[in-house]
């Protein structure tokens, strides 16, 4: 979906079809529905539409459904992976794996539930020898739901 517009600017939005080219995840573990903006080497903004049909809701507080915090962090990591691949100018393949290797300073500030739209903002903090560091925030209605510093690595498949 990224393409040059009439004025020469680059459209940095990605629909689900393009996202599927940048993430190996599939249902029920694909947690990014759309990319609103991506600037390779800098930042990305994506969203996850949280539906009552999510497979975790029947068992995660059925009387008061809440998206598990670890899945909010996973959505942030998947968004970071898209930023990494866009920055490298490549896509995932069967010769390497993009691992989520660390979480620092994770904080959960607001529950995420059915009907919420999770807006995920990730900034690249650094990349050295295949280790990527990010600062990530997930918001609902402009309020921070979760934030964390993420560490990821691209490694050859065994």
Supply the CATH number for residue 76's domain.
3.10.129.10
Q: 77-93: per-residue pLDDT in tens?
A: 999 999 999 999 999 99
The total domain count for the chain is 1
Could you list the active site residues?
60
Which residue range is the domain that position 79 belongs to? Answer: 3-156
How distant, in Å, are the alpha carbons of 5, 45, 96, 115, 142 from that of 82?
22, 10, 15, 24, 22
pTM of the entire structure? Answer: 0.92
Q: 24-44: per-residue pLDDT in tens?
A: 999 999 999 999 999 999 999
């Amino acid at each position: 979906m990224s393409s040059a517009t009439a004025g020469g600017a680059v459209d940095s939005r990605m629909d689900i079809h393009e996202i599927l080219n940048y993430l190996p995840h599939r249902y029920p573990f694909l947690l990014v529905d759309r990319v609103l903006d991506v600037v390779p080497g800098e930042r990305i903004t994506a969203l996850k539409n949280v539906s009552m049909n999510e497979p975790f809701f029947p068992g995660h507080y059925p009387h008061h459904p809440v998206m598990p915090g670890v899945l909010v962090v996973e959505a942030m990591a998947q968004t970071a992976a898209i930023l990494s691949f866009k920055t490298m100018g490549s896509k995932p393949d069967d010769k390497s794996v993009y691992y989520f290797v660390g979480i620092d300073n994770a904080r959960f500030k607001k529950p995420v539930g059915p009907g919420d739209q999770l807006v995920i903002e990730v900034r690249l903090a650094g990349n050295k020898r295949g280790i990527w560091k990010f600062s990530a925030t997930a918001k609902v209605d402009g309020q921070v739901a979760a934030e964390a510093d993420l560490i990821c690595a691209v490694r050859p498949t065994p």
